[in-house]
Amino acid sequence: MLLLAGCASTPSADEQELAATMQEHGSDTPVASPMTAYAPAQPVSGKAVVYTTVDGQQIEGWLARPTNATGELPALIVIHEWWGLNDNVRRAAERLAGEGYVTLAVDLHNGNTAATPKAAMKMGRVLSENKETAIANLKDAIAYLQTEVGVTQIGVMGWCQGGNWSLQTALNFPADIDATVIYYGRVTDNPEELQVLDMPVLGIFAGDDFIVPPQMAYSFATAMAKLKKDLEFYMYRDAAHAFSNPSGTEYNQEAAADAWQHTTAFLTRNLKAQPTE
């Protein structure tokens, strides 16, 4: 009897990323990293706000701003890792607010957070299967900042899964985003996709990264250079993926401190600079 084996389908890029993330973080936990231990540079206040709805469910983000700030501030959309919008991400958003921003930490997992890699992977699969919902979520985050908070300058920043969604926000809403920060998120080298990026982009990557390997990051940088896009690029060769995350056990003090300095300087130049007359 002749048995013909069926052809196995090739996993999608999303499935490959989730499998790689599970391999990288299979023994990780969403503990607060040292990144969250730093106090903001100035007093800040934070509160939960409803900024969108999904299938009738109100979705809350975390809005933070300097307590004593007056006048209009630039804004920063902060996108969580695969663990979801937990207290660690809220503290990271407050630390960023201390640099002189209104920060909105969004929730792409609709109120869910994960305590184990298995639960995080399940949430990640749901997210990858509902990308249009996530794009609508981010669109509403931009609208909330523009209409409810009254900002005119908006940046976006995320780590890991959130780094990929930081890029997706910029690709989908280039007219609304003034600066984009990607911490070791999956990137593309497709020139047709990248062509719309008219804002400055900061890419921070890890050399010891199984999820977003250096080759992927360098291909992205090469494509951006060919398109003459404004990319500031850093590769931390001795750091592992998630080396500056709010949650997890891969924190690298030296690399994270250097990346923070580059991040705050980049945001200052591109979100706080006064327009020339």
Which is catalytic among the residues 209, 238, 258, 262?
Answer: 209
Closest CA relative to residue 254, chosen from 236, 233, 232: 236
Q: What are the φ and ψ backbone dihedral angles of 79, each rounded to 5 degrees?
A: -115, 125
Letter string b/e over residues 28-64, b meaning 16 or more CB atoms within 10 A of that residue's CB: bebebbebbeeebeeebebeeeebbebeeeebbbbbb
Known catalytic membership, residue 241: yes
Which is catalytic among the residues 109, 160, 176, 178?
Answer: 160
Q: Report in angstroms the alpha-carbon separations of 166 from 172, 253, 276.
A: 10, 23, 28
Contacting residues for 177 by C-beta, under 8 A, at least 6 apart: 142, 154, 155, 156, 169, 170, 199
Known catalytic membership, residue 80: no
Closest CA relative to residue 162, chosen from 84, 65, 268, 219: 84
Q: In this structure, how many other beta carbons lie within 10 angstroms of the beta carbon of residue 165?
A: 28
Which is catalytic among the residues 25, 80, 109, 241?
Answer: 241
Q: In this structure, how many other beta carbons lie within 10 angstroms of the beta carbon of residue 277?
A: 3
Known catalytic membership, residue 208: no
Q: How far apart are the first and last CA of the chain?
A: 82
Closest CA relative to residue 33, chosen from 265, 238, 234, 259: 259
Active-site annotation, residues? 160, 209, 241
